[in-house]
A and B are shown apart, each in its own frame.
Chain A
Amino acid sequence: MQGQSSVTNTGIHGAVDSFYTLGVTGWAFDKGNLGSPLIISAFVDAECVGTAVANLARPDVGQKRGAYNCGFEILFTRSVFPGEKIIVRASSDSEFRDFRLTLISELEGHVEQLSFASATGWAWLPNSPDVRLIVIAKIDDEIIGSSEASGNRVDLVASGRGDGCYGFSILFDSMVDPSRVEFIAVGDGVEYSLNVLNINSDESVVRRDLDVNLPQISGVENVSFGGGGSAFSVPEELVGAELVGVVGVADASFVLPSEMEVDVADFQSAVWPCQPLELRLEEGCSAALAVDHVYFCDNVAVVSGWFFGSASLVFVDPLTAAGCAPSFFKKFKREDVSRGYSKPSDLVHGFIAMWVAPPSDKIELSMDGLQQLKLSIGLADGVAFSKLQNSEFGSIVAAFLLRTGGGNVDGLAPLIHALPNLPANRSGARGFIETARGVPGIGGLVAGWAVGEPGVAFYLADDGGQSQDMSGAARWNRDDIIQAMGSEFGVHARDGGVLQAWNHKLAVGDLIKLIAVVDDGAYVVASARWSPAPVDPVAFAQWAFGYPTPREKFSQRLTQHDGRIINGLIERAAVHRPKVDPDIISFGSLCQSPRCSIIIPLYRRFDFMLNQMIEFARDSWLKDNCEIIYIIDDPNLVGPVKSIAEKLFATHGVPLRVVWAGQNRGFSGANNVGASLAAAPYLLLMNSDVIPTAPGWLEHMLAALIANERVGVLGARLHFPNGSIQHDGIAFRWTPDWGAYLNKHPSAGLCAALADVNQPVARPAVTAACMLVSVLDYASIGGLNETFLIGDFEDTDLCLRVRTLLGKSVACLQTVEGLIHLERQSFSAIGTPSFRDHVARFNAWKHQMAWGSTISSLPSYDNFRES
Chain B
Amino acid sequence: MKALVISHAHPAFSIGGAEVAAYNLYRALPGLDDISEAVFLARTDLPGRSHGSISLFRENEYLWRQGIGDWFRLSTENRSSVLEEFREFLLLVRPDIVFVQHFLHLGVEIFPEIKRTLPKCFLVATLHEYLAICNRNGQFVRNVSKKLCYEEEIERCSTCFPEYSAGDFWLRKHYIQSQFSYVDIFVSPSAFLMSRYIDWGISAERITVIENGQPARSSHEAASVRAGRVRFGYFGQINEYKGLDILLSAVGQLPESVREQIVVDVNGANLESQGEWFQDLIKKLREPLIEEGCLRWAGAYEPHEVSRRMRNVDWVVVPSIWWENSPMVIQEAFVHGRPVICSNIGGMAEKVRDGVDGLHFEVRNPLDLADVLARAATEEGLHARLSGNAPTPIGYADCARLHVDLLKGGFRRFVSE
The interface of chain A, by Cβ under 8 A from chain B, is: 607-608, 610-611, 614, 644, 647, 650-651, 689, 691, 693, 721-722, 820, 822-823, 825, 828
B112–A651 touching, CB < 8 Å: yes
B166–A828 touching, CB < 8 Å: no
A825–B168 touching, CB < 8 Å: yes
A647–B79 touching, CB < 8 Å: yes
Residue of A nearest to B113 (CB): A651
Mark interface residues in B144-178 (1 if CB within 8 Å of A CB, else 0).
00000000001000000000011110110011001
Task: Name 24 interchain pairs, CB-CB below 8 A, sorted by A.
Answer: A607-B70, A608-B171, A611-B171, A611-B178, A614-B175, A647-B79, A647-B80, A651-B79, A651-B83, A651-B109, A691-B174, A693-B174, A721-B154, A721-B166, A721-B167, A722-B154, A820-B170, A822-B167, A822-B168, A822-B171, A825-B165, A825-B167, A825-B168, A828-B165
Give chain B's interface residue range (CB within 8 Å of chain A): 10 to 19
Q: How far is the CA of A650 from the CA of B81 in the complex (A)?
A: 12
Which residues on the B side are within 8 Å of A608 (C-beta)?
171
Q: How far is the CA of A609 from the CA of B294 in the complex (A)?
A: 59
Which residues on the A side are within 8 Å of B70 (C-beta)?
607
A-B contact count (CB 8 A): 45
Measured CB to CB, the closest approach of chain B to A793, in angstroms, equals 22
A691–B171 touching, CB < 8 Å: yes
Q: How far is the CA of A610 from the CA of B113 in the complex (A)?
A: 15
Q: How far is the CA of A693 from the CA of B113 in the complex (A)?
A: 21
Which residues on the A side are within 8 Å of B154 (C-beta)?
721-722
Which residues on the A side are within 8 Å of B109 (C-beta)?
651
Which residues on the B side are within 8 Å of A611 (C-beta)?
171, 174-175, 178
Q: Which of A644, A693, A722, A823 has the most chain B CB within a 10 Å cutoff?
A: A722
Which residues on the B side are within 8 Å of A689 (C-beta)?
167
Which residues on the B side are within 8 Å of A644 (C-beta)?
79
Measured CB to CB, the closest approach of chain B to A620, in angstroms, equals 15
Which residues on the B side are within 8 Å of A607 (C-beta)?
70, 73, 171
Residue of A nearest to B178 (CB): A614
The interface of chain B, by Cβ under 8 A from chain A, is: 70, 73, 75, 79-80, 83, 109, 112-113, 154, 165-168, 170-171, 174-175, 178
Q: How far is the CA of A626 from the CA of B109 in the complex (A)?
A: 26
Measured CB to CB, the closest approach of chain A to B385, in angstroms, equals 50
Measured CB to CB, the closest approach of chain B to A292, in angstroms, equals 77
Q: How far is the CA of A608 from the CA of B165 in the complex (A)?
A: 13
Q: How far is the CA of A607 from the CA of B167 in the complex (A)?
A: 12
Q: How far is the CA of A558 from the CA of B175 in the complex (A)?
A: 44
Measured CB to CB, the closest approach of chain B to A616, in angstroms, equals 12
Q: How far is the CA of A614 from the CA of B111 in the complex (A)?
A: 13
Residue of B nearest to A828 (CB): B165
Nearest 8 interchain pairs by C-beta:
A822-B167, A721-B170, A647-B79, A614-B178, A650-B83, A825-B167, A611-B174, A611-B171
8 Å CB contact of B170 from A614, A647, A822, A828: A822
Which residues on the A side are within 8 Å of B168 (C-beta)?
822, 825
Residue of B nearest to A615 (CB): B178
A610 and B73 in contact, given A691-B174, A721-B170 (Cβ under 8 angstroms): yes
Which residues on the A side are within 8 Å of B112 (C-beta)?
651
Q: How far is the CA of A346 from the CA of B113 in the complex (A)?
A: 105
Q: How far is the CA of A691 from the CA of B79 in the complex (A)?
A: 22
Residue of B nearest to A820 (CB): B170
Residue of A nearest to B154 (CB): A721
Which residues on the B side are within 8 Å of A610 (C-beta)?
73, 75, 175
8 Å CB contact of B83 from A647, A691, A722: A647
Which residues on the A side are within 8 Å of B174 (C-beta)?
611, 614, 691, 693, 820
Q: How far is the CA of A822 from the CA of B75 in the complex (A)?
A: 21
Q: How far is the CA of A416 from the CA of B79 in the complex (A)?
A: 70
Measured CB to CB, the closest approach of chain A to B416, in angstroms, equals 12
Which residues on the B side are within 8 Å of A691 (C-beta)?
171, 174
Q: A614-B175, A689-B167 are in contact. List 18 more A-B contacts (CB 8 A).
A: A607-B73, A607-B171, A610-B75, A611-B171, A611-B174, A611-B178, A647-B80, A647-B83, A651-B113, A691-B171, A691-B174, A693-B174, A721-B166, A721-B167, A822-B167, A822-B168, A823-B167, A825-B165
Measured CB to CB, the closest approach of chain B to A803, in angstroms, equals 31
Measured CB to CB, the closest approach of chain A to B304, in angstroms, equals 43
Q: Which of B73, B79, B109 has the most chain A CB within a 10 Å cutoff?
A: B79
Measured CB to CB, the closest approach of chain B to A648, in angstroms, equals 9
Q: Which of B83, B154, B166, B167 has the most chain A CB within a 10 Å cutoff?
A: B167
Which residues on the A side are within 8 Å of B178 (C-beta)?
611, 614
Q: How far is the CA of A233 from the CA of B382 in the complex (A)?
A: 116
Which residues on the B side are within 8 Å of A822 (C-beta)?
165, 167-168, 170-171
Residue of B nearest to A644 (CB): B79
Measured CB to CB, the closest approach of chain A to B201, in angstroms, equals 12
Residue of A nearest to B174 (CB): A611
Residue of B nearest to A649 (CB): B83
Measured CB to CB, the closest approach of chain A to B413, in angstroms, equals 21
Q: How far is the CA of A689 from the CA of B168 in the complex (A)?
A: 10
